[in-house]
Amino acid sequence: MKILLINGPNLNLLGKREKNIYGDLSFEEYFKTLKNNYQQHELSYFQSNIEGEIVNKIHEFGFDHDGIVINAGAYTHTSIAIRDAIAGVTTPVVEVHISNILTRESFRHESIIGPVCVGSIMGFGLNSYRLGIESFCQG
């Protein structure tokens, strides 16, 4: 299986920012663990703080991959462009969040991208990504 993981804005600061919410491990470190645990699959990773770059990556990989796992960060709640990109591709997309967005500030409670994803996983820390990958492996 070919699976792309996408992280949106500020997720490049994992391991440095708000450790009480996001933990102290960088995503690059965690991604090494994922690649080691899923050697039978082709995992790739992309992170950007720029909405259009995320849209471009969804377009680029959205027709030839088996799955996309996306943590759109704050764009989850604001980006119609990312929502439309997900809706426009044939690759299934799973939305993930490190924290449970429903227990955070009220402006984080609504996901604009969720309705066009095949599922949403939140609140399991970095393991949310592993669960997203597993959803494709089990499906």
Q: Which domain CATH number covers 64?
A: 3.40.50.9100
What is the average pLDDT across 69-75?
96
pLDDT of the residue at 24: 77
In sequence order, what are the residues at sequence separation of 6 or more whose Cβ sits closer than 8 angstroms to the Cβ of residue 29?
A: 15
Write the single-letter amino acid at 104.
R
Q: Cα–Cα distance between 93 and 18 in angstroms, integer?
A: 27
Write down the pTM of the prediction. 0.92
Domain total in the chain: 1
What percent of the chain lies above the pLDDT cut of 90?
78
> Which residues participate in catalysis according to the annotation?
22, 97
Give the pLDDT of residue 17: 62
- Is 84 one of the annotated binding-site residues? yes
Query: Binding residue per annotation — 71?
Result: yes
Mean pLDDT of 113-121: 97
* Residues spanned by the domain of 114: 2-138
State residue 108's pLDDT score.
66
